[in-house]
Chains A and B, each alone.
Chain A
Amino acid sequence: MSSFFKIMIVLLAALTFHTIRSQEGMVQIKGGTYIPLYGVDSTAVTIADLSMDVYPVTNADYLEFVREFPEWQKNKVIRLFADGNYLVDWEGDLSYGKMLAAEGPVTSVSWFAAKNYCECQGKRLPTIDEWEYAAMADETTADARKKESYNQSILDWYEAPKSLKKKVGSTFKNYWGVYDLHGLVWEWTMDFNAVLISGESRKDVDKDSNLFCGSAAVGASDLMNYAAFMRYAFRGSMKANYAVKNLGFRCAMDVPQI
């Protein structure tokens, strides 16, 4: 009997250890309800508490991953899961080379690769709604979207070329303690392919109300949030096996309900 308890304790400890190990380098984001640029019918979306990586995944992190899982190495990956641009700037299967920094964000990775990476850490990719929720914070507020300066500074970053050469942590630390959501690279989300812009969303996807020209304004909740428009447009242009130079990722995790 007592030994059973001991085992239970060990098991619990192991579980806790596992969770802690996974949560290293993550911060907790308190859930809430907000209105994303493109939401559901009722517009407001509720996010449960989650943990999110403080930094995007770096080249060094990713190198470790492909060492362990060779099927994700540059020349071994299959085309269904990553197109020809996969890790295009890496020197070889097990080297990102001298041009890229160890602490630079890993880019040119496909959605499959990003998803697998996170799963192998016991994590997952954040959803669009989660990502947008975390990213609407500036240094001091959880929802800075109405601050004109916030919106404009994100736009400035999106326009400035070559920001992907910076190291992770080089932009600001937001309200939740997360770095680099803006100003470094785009990031994959779990349901990037949920970007559907439709006037009457219960109908089939009406391709006339799409991301182009004025029609993107249909159904959007905030016409001044150009930065968000750009992110949604970017996601809309992606396919799961695309590897893009300015696109990296970070992982997230559910927070166990106690």
Chain B
Amino acid sequence: MKTYQFSILKSTRLLFAIVIFITFLSCKNNKKEESKFTSSMEIPATVEMIATLTSPPNVPPPTGKRKAKKLIVDMEILEQEGEMTNGVKYVYWTFGGTVPGSFIRTKVGDEVEFHLKNHPDNKLPHNIDLHAVTGPGGGAESSFVAPGHEKVFSFKVLNPGLYVYHCATTPVGMHIANGMYGLILVEPEEGLPDVDKEYYIMQGDFYTKGNNGDRGLQPFDMQKAVDEKADYVVFNGKVGALTGDNAITANVGETVRLYVGNGGPNLVSSFHVIGEIFDRVHIEGGSSINENVQTTLIPAGGATIVEFKVEVPGTFILVDHSIFRAFNKGALGMLKVQGDENEAVYSGELRDDIYLPEGGGIQKMPSSDALPESEIPAKSMAERMEFGKQTYMQTCFACHQAEGQGIPNAFPPLAKSDYLNADVNRAIDIILHGKTGEITVNGEKYNSIMTAQTLSDDEVANVLTYVYNSWGNDKKEVVPSMVKAVRNSN
């Protein structure tokens, strides 16, 4: 009885699956018909829809499989005071109240009816030049709108890609420098592949009358803008828009897609996520895809789409890798990834060992034919002491320390050293050939390794003379011939 029921259930499932399969097939057929359009211009856009606009760092939902539509975009221009960073105020000119402006998401073939509203309290006329528009001025001329007015114009999006929009009213640099830019995405007919997280980031450079960090309301500085000397280079309009509590987030194993634009007005961005490699980069926001990219260039007035899977947890820092901008001017964001560690991908710290440098001699360039400074013979005892000290500070200092005191239990002392004073030739030999094994110096046992030092006979003579004539030792003078003798004796 039970098995019978089960099989019915099973066959129903099978039937269901077949129906789905057929539907899928027919869908596919429809799809094929749809893509018969030889040009984007032929795609009909019949049904009307109000576009969802989002503030950064959010993006509207994907267009998915929907057909091209007549898309109503409502955008309000606001000139308003905001905070650039703690205590620093700035009057931003914005599309939709944010910098960058609201994100517009469209699909190839959409007919966009654009309503541009200039708030009556605003002081200036504005307009919008959308790089996604095929037409004179990208809409700039048709959208030139006085305060307290609304302009309507429409355009059909023909080319898929990620495009910048910005205000183009004279003086255009100032309008952009005050934050009038944003992104419009035109998805291909079939939509972009599904990902887990999508975010909207835009870099911009700002020019203030005061220097970076000067408090109070900071007006735009025209001269600095002309000279391209930015006081702030930031993501999403202000310092800290993407850090701390404002960081963007993802979970381990998710694929993240960032829509990254650069409003400029002046600087080109070397966009980089510290500790991640972009699996896929839509170069310059267009159709060609580059894989496995560390840093991607975003021109001013350009954009890019980067995608990467986050495999391990942690905080990943987004920067403009023109790195002073990141650390001194604000071009810094954070992606916080939560989830389980994956030590196969990244182990974290395994050990903390003492690192013993091999000494300066190892860095000597052997290729030079000219007599190196180190081989210039010392002409007097004073010179020998002087040269010897130089060699000591380069070669011996790290272990034996400045006053020859050594480091207890690790490196024996050279100051008032019975072991040193007992045998000059042994001392020369140790420098030339190194020393391993237990020794007793001034009653203390030491068991470590000293490597052979690649020093010339002169240098050895000098450094030993320096050591023997310092810190209470017995004032021997070592000359190169002594060193040579030891070197040749083995």
In the complex they form, do A and B come into direct contact, defined as C-beta atoms under 8 angstroms apart? Answer: yes
Binding site for B on A (CB under 8 A): 85, 88, 148, 151-152, 155-156, 158-162, 186, 207-208, 210-214, 216-217, 224, 226, 229-230, 232-234, 236-239, 242-247
Instruction: Decide: B222 and A152 in contact? CB cutoff 8 A.
Output: yes
Instruction: Decide: A212 and B172 in contact? CB cutoff 8 A.
Output: yes
Contacts of A151 in B (CB 8 A): 222
Closest to A158 in B: B123
**Bound: A160/B121 CA distance, A:** 12
Known contacts A160-B219, A161-B80; is-contact A211 B170 (Cβ 8 Å): yes
Closest to B143 in A: A212
Known contacts A213-B137, A233-B125; is-contact A243 B144 (Cβ 8 Å): no
Residues 122-159 of chain B, each 1 if its beta carbon lies under 8 Å from chain A, else 0: 11110101000000110011001111110000000000
Instruction: Decide: B129 and A213 in contact? CB cutoff 8 A.
Output: yes
Instruction: Decide: B168 and A161 in contact? CB cutoff 8 A.
Output: no
**Bound: A98/B73 CA distance, A:** 37
Q: Is B81 an interface residue (CB 8 A)?
A: yes
Contacts of A186 in B (CB 8 A): 123
Contacts of B476 in A (CB 8 A): none
Known contacts A85-B148, A237-B144, A245-B148; is-contact A212 B221 (Cβ 8 Å): no
Closest to B80 in A: A161
Chain B nearest Cβ from A154, distance in angstroms = 10
Contacts of A233 in B (CB 8 A): 124-125, 169-171
Contacts of B125 in A (CB 8 A): 233-234, 236-238
Binding site for A on B (CB under 8 A): 79-81, 91, 120-125, 127, 129, 136-137, 140-141, 144-149, 168-172, 174, 178, 209, 217, 219-223, 226
Contacts of B226 in A (CB 8 A): 224
**Bound: A88/B137 CA distance, A:** 33
Chain B nearest Cβ from A239, distance in angstroms = 8
Contacts of B223 in A (CB 8 A): 148, 152
Known contacts A152-B221, A160-B91, A212-B140; is-contact A244 B146 (Cβ 8 Å): yes
Closest to A237 in B: B125
**Bound: A156/B169 CA distance, A:** 18
Q: Please name the 4 residue pairs, one residue from A and one from B, whose CB atoms are nearest each other, closest first.
A: A237-B125, A216-B170, A156-B219, A237-B146
**Bound: A152/B144 CA distance, A:** 25
Instruction: Decide: B219 and A242 in contact? CB cutoff 8 A.
Output: no
20 more A-B residue pairs beyond the given contacts A155-B219, A156-B219, A234-B146, with a C-beta to C-beta distance below 8 A: A85-B148, A152-B219, A152-B222, A152-B223, A155-B174, A158-B123, A159-B123, A160-B91, A160-B219, A212-B129, A213-B140, A214-B172, A224-B226, A226-B222, A237-B125, A237-B144, A237-B145, A243-B148, A245-B120, A246-B121
Instruction: Decide: A208 and B136 in contact? CB cutoff 8 A.
Output: yes
**Bound: A17/B68 CA distance, A:** 72
Q: Can you list 13 A-B pairs with a CB-CB distance of less than 8 A?
A: A88-B120, A148-B223, A155-B219, A155-B220, A159-B178, A224-B226, A229-B170, A230-B124, A233-B170, A234-B146, A244-B147, A245-B147, A246-B121
Which of B123, B141, B221 lies in contact with A246, CB distance below 8 A? B123
Closest to B145 in A: A237
**Bound: A239/B144 CA distance, A:** 12
Instruction: Decide: A229 and B171 in contact? CB cutoff 8 A.
Output: yes
Contacts of B222 in A (CB 8 A): 151-152, 155, 224, 226
Instruction: Decide: A212 and B170 in contact? CB cutoff 8 A.
Output: yes
Chain A nearest Cβ from B479, distance in angstroms = 70
**Bound: A159/B220 CA distance, A:** 8
Contacts of B219 in A (CB 8 A): 152, 155-156, 159-160
**Bound: A161/B178 CA distance, A:** 14
Contacts of B168 in A (CB 8 A): 212-213
**Bound: A151/B168 CA distance, A:** 21
Which of B121, B127, B172 lies in contact with A245, CB distance below 8 A? B121
Contacts of A88 in B (CB 8 A): 120
**Bound: A213/B178 CA distance, A:** 15
Instruction: Decide: B147 and A246 in contact? CB cutoff 8 A.
Output: yes
**Bound: A29/B334 CA distance, A:** 59
Chain B nearest Cβ from A206, distance in angstroms = 11
Which of A152, A212, A246 lies in contact with B137, CB distance below 8 A? A212
**Bound: A167/B459 CA distance, A:** 84
Which of B122, B141, B147 lies in contact with A210, CB distance below 8 A? B141
**Bound: A104/B171 CA distance, A:** 29
Instruction: Decide: A213 and B172 in contact? CB cutoff 8 A.
Output: yes
Which of B136, B141, B146 lies in contact with A238, CB distance below 8 A? B146
**Bound: A111/B129 CA distance, A:** 28
Contacts of B217 in A (CB 8 A): 160
